[in-house]
Amino acid sequence: MALIAVGLDHEHASLDLLERATVLEHEWVKVLRTLVSHRNIHEAVFVSTCLRTEVVAVIDRFHGAIDEITATLSEVTGLPAAEFEEHLSVHFDRGVANHLFSVSAGLRSVVPGEFEVLGQLRRALELASDEHVAGPMLTDLFQKALTSGRRVRNETTIARGTTSFAHAAVEATLESLRGEAAGSTVVVVGAGQLAGGVVRSLLASSEGIGHVVVCNRTLSRAEDLRRILSDERVSVAPLSQLDEHLRGARVAVVAVEVPEPLITVETLSGRTTPLLAMDLAVPRGVARDVDSIPGVERFDIGALHQRVNRALDDRRDAVTAAEAIVADDVEKYLEDQRARGAAAIVSDLRAHFDSLVAAELQRRSSEIEALGDSEGEVLRSVVRSVVAKIAHRPTTALKESAGTDQGARLSEAVRTLFDI
């Protein structure tokens, strides 16, 4: 069995394609069950966010698994496979560890070093574990990747300054307001991790935000966030009152998964005051044509990506240091996997030889007993010694070649020759 990672991400696919390929979290269980129902897929973890829709799996046949994963992505997204096949990123075997450790470290994020990705990967693993589709291989891989991601943030300055996607979005928003933020009202749609990060960054800014209204479909979650923040500038409202609160807002931030845009030309009809709409949702939470209304500006993840890239020149050294940590942790992970692989085949081989000796001695037990206790014990000792010497060279070769192409061939040959 081997590891594979297949998916779409912001480095290789357009925002438009990522938007249409996003799978809402309440549908992830269906995706996982579909994946492991296929012949070549034994374990699977699935994650789909605003910037990444990806499958990490333990598989048998490479090409068969690629076809099965592609078919599943097509089914759950409703997109013809031909529309996204050329944009898929595929990582195999050792490359999966390099890729996932880099993702966890924030090296594949719009904002290098951002923290949200750790939570996304952790939730994806927890869901797969709850559904019993993530076995020992994927659990170990994800846990080691998450540990490496935390190490990168602790040992480098990659998370200095703009530390999250939410923080970067707020900075871009405040920059666009050009000093008009003081005393203004901001409506934030959502009450999850991303929305909570946006509200925290707004409250912590030096611009003097006047009021933040958190609108959420589940009002109790918004109330929980308000209680945690404990700031008199925060109020909450049900999503059904969004249009009403938008009328008095200078800024609106959509930071929640939605099946269709919440802010449209129709909802802003008749507006005469300026509005900056920051769309962090995928699929889109703000219709593309709202900026046709005078005074309304719309920013999305694509525009945010460009702004962040321009602002991160001072973090290049930290990125280099983070890459070195990732390379070190990946090599340790691979060494551990090689050791485990060698231990398993050596253990199986020794158990096979031991069972042969035991079976043969048992079969000839009456004849051995006729020799007498002393002679019988000598015979048993000689048989075990000869078999141990025969097994010595194969076990040594397996240990020495573990983790190499030759080791893989030897392991396969041993399993075939000795039927283990």
Residue type, 298: R
pTM of the model: 0.65
User: Could you tell me the CATH number of the domain that includes residue 205?
Assistant: 3.40.50.720
Specify the pLDDT at position 400.
75
Structural domain count of the chain:
3
Alpha helices by DSSP H, 364-404 = 365-370, 373-400
| Residues 157 and 169 both lie in one domain | no
Final residue before a domain boundary, out of 132, 161, 190 = 161
Exposure pattern of 7-26 as b/e (b: 16+ CB <10 Å)?
A: bbbbeebebebbbbbbbebe
Residue type, 413: A
Specify the pLDDT at position 299.
87
| Residues 119 and 184 both lie in one domain | no
> Is 253 domain-assigned?
yes
> Is 100 domain-assigned?
yes
- Write the CB contacts of 37 (distance below 8 Å, at least 6 apart in sequence): none
> Is 414 domain-assigned?
yes
Specify the pLDDT at position 410.
83
> Is 394 domain-assigned?
no
| Residues 157 and 176 both lie in one domain | no
Structure tokens at 14: 């357009």
| Residues 124 and 225 both lie in one domain | no
> Is 396 domain-assigned?
no
Structure tokens at 111: 């904002």
> How many C-beta atoms lie closer than 10 Å to residue 299's C-beta?
20
| Residues 348 and 417 both lie in one domain | yes
Final residue before a domain boundary, out of 111, 134, 161 = 161
> Is 391 domain-assigned?
no
State the angle between helix axes of 28-36 and 116-130 in degrees (0 to 180), rounded to the nearest 10. Answer: 60
> Is 13 domain-assigned?
yes
| Residues 198 and 235 both lie in one domain | yes
Contact (CB, 8 A) for 155 and 325: yes
| Residues 208 and 116 both lie in one domain | no
Residue 17 structural domain: 2-161
269/406 Cα distance (integer angstroms): 69
| Residues 61 and 193 both lie in one domain | no
Q: Which residue from 78, 75, 31 is spatially nearest to 55, judged by alpha carbons? A: 31
Alpha helices by DSSP H, 156-241 = 165-177, 193-204, 219-229
Q: Give the active site residues.
A: 50
Specify the pLDDT at position 71.
95
114/319 Cα distance (integer angstroms): 12
265/286 Cα distance (integer angstroms): 9
| Residues 258 and 176 both lie in one domain | yes
First to last CA, the chain: 15
Specify the pLDDT at position 95.
92
345/400 Cα distance (integer angstroms): 13
Q: Which residue from 155, 18, 3 is spatially nearest to 65, judged by alpha carbons? A: 3
81/75 Cα distance (integer angstroms): 9
| Residues 210 and 287 both lie in one domain | yes
> Is 83 domain-assigned?
yes
Q: What does each of the 420 residues of the chain score in pLDDT, given as a tens digit? A: 789 999 999 888 877 788 788 888 889 999 999 999 999 999 999 998 867 899 999 998 899 999 999 999 999 999 999 999 899 999 998 899 999 999 999 888 877 777 888 989 999 999 999 999 999 999 999 999 999 999 999 998 887 765 567 777 888 888 888 778 888 999 999 988 788 888 998 998 888 899 999 999 889 989 999 999 999 999 999 999 999 999 989 999 998 878 889 999 998 988 889 999 999 887 788 998 998 899 999 988 777 776 666 655 556 778 889 999 999 999 999 888 777 766 778 888 888 888 998 998 888 888 888 888 888 888 889 998 998 898 888 888 887 777 666 777 788 788 888 888
372/126 Cα distance (integer angstroms): 61
398/12 Cα distance (integer angstroms): 40
Final residue before a domain boundary, out of 161, 191, 208 = 161
Strands 234-238 and 89-92: unpaired
Cis omega (within 30 of 0) on the bond before 283? yes
Specify the pLDDT at position 309.
64
Specify the pLDDT at position 405.
64
70/80 Cα distance (integer angstroms): 10
| Residues 119 and 87 both lie in one domain | yes
| Residues 116 and 190 both lie in one domain | no
Specify the pLDDT at position 155.
92
354/344 Cα distance (integer angstroms): 15
User: Could you tell me the CATH number of the domain that includes residue 45?
Assistant: 3.30.460.30
